[in-house]
């Protein structure tokens, strides 16, 4: 299952390199099977807590964006993550926002290789104004895989490239966020795989418009100590993703993390951004999503 998830998300994110207007596609095989069942919008009293919750479209590959938005809105979810410009009007139609827009590059090919900087900068200069015009808060980027590049060199390379786009991000009021991913299970050789490395990158870039996407699932696998890391590095985190460990499935009692306590800890830091669900449901997708929203409704 873990291998399938790795391939699915990598494939989905690869589409944004071919054109930032592409929506992210299919989730895992189990999610696809679950989504063959009919789904109806399920109202809930959740979503009235202090966290602004979102959900990643790629986890629900068999469900149209319209249907996901309808269900999400009924649950109190306020946003959808990881979409290109072609999908933003659909989200807006339902009174939601795209919390994280697709950016240039992909997981394996990112900002740690100087030879790619000109291409990534050119794409960023095209995408960032679109993100700002649509009123969206964040654009995602990735470090890329190491492929022999040391962590010290990767830091230097990423900082050098990202400094070329942060002035525009600052001018437009868009935050560029780099995702922390695990290189142990899902994304072998990915460089931005520890919080401390990502924080050091933020310091070197030196812009309030560059922060981290702290993926709780990925960082639990790599280093654990989730709540302490959130508290310690709160000023460098611009967005969160969820996911059950192990398996990247539901965030309920079937996995090892206490997501209600994690959500409370995030709120206690004064976080005002978006907190997005990115798990592959094993059961009825919308029932599992509703449960996740309620768990994190603090």
The 8-class DSSP code of residue 193 comes to: -
At 44 the pLDDT is 47
Q: What is the DSSP string of 79-125?
A: EEEEE-GGGHHHHHHTT-EEEEE--SS-SSS-TT-GGGHHHHHHHHH
Closest CA to 207 of 246, 178, 186, 176: 176
At 49 the pLDDT is 85
276 — pLDDT class (breaks 50, 70, 90) = very high
Q: Once rounded to an integer, what is the mean pLDDT over residues 144-151?
A: 98
Domain count, the chain: 1
| 31-35, 113-117, 182-186: least confidently modelled range | 31-35
The predicted-structure confidence for 200-245, as pLDDT tens digits, reads as follows 999 999 999 999 999 999 999 999 999 999 999 999 999 999 999 9
Structure tokens at 157: 């390379």
The reported pTM is 0.86
At 9 the pLDDT is 54
Structural domain boundaries, residue 82? 2-34+43-295
Q: Are 170 and 134 in contact (CB under 8 A)?
A: no
Q: Once rounded to an integer, what is the mean pLDDT over residues 72-77?
A: 98
Residues 6 or more apart from 261 whose CB is under 8 A from it? 227
What CATH number does residue 150 fall under? 3.20.20.150
């Amino acid at each position: 299952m873990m291998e399938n998830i790795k391939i699915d998300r990598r494939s989905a994110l690869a589409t944004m390199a071919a054109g930032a207007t592409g929506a992210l596609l299919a989730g895992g095989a189990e999610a696809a099977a679950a989504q063959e069942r009919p789904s109806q919008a399920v109202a809930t009293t959740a979503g009235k807590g202090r966290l602004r919750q979102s959900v990643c479209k790629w986890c629900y590959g068999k469900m149209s964006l319209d249907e996901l938005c309808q269900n999400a809105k009924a649950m109190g979810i306020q946003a959808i993550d990881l979409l290109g410009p072609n999908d933003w009007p659909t989200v807006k139609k339902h009174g939601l926002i795209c919390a994280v827009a697709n950016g240039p590059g992909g997981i394996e090919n990112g900002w740690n290789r100087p030879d790619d900087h000109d291409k990534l900068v050119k794409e960023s200069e095209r995408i960032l104004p679109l993100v700002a015009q649509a009123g969206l808060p964040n654009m995602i980027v990735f470090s890329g895989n190491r492929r022999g590049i040391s962590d010290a060199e990767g830091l230097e390379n990423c900082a050098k490239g990202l400094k070329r786009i942060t002035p525009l991000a600052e001018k437009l009021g868009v935050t560029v966020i780099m995702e922390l991913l695990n290189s142990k299970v899902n994304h072998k050789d990915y460089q931005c795989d520890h919080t401390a490395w990502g924080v050091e990158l933020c310091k070197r870039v030196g812009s309030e418009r560059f922060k981290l996407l702290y993926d709780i699932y990925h960082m639990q696998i790599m280093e654990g100590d989730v709540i302490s890391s959130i508290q310690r590095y709160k000023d460098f985190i611009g967005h969160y993703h969820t996911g059950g460990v192990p398996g990247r499935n539901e965030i309920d009692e079937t996995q090892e993390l206490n997501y209600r306590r994690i959500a409370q800890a995030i709120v206690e830091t004064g976080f005002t951004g978006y907190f997005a669900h990115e798990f592959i449901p094993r059961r009825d997708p919308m029932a599992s999503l509703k449960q996740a929203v309620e768990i994190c409704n603090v």
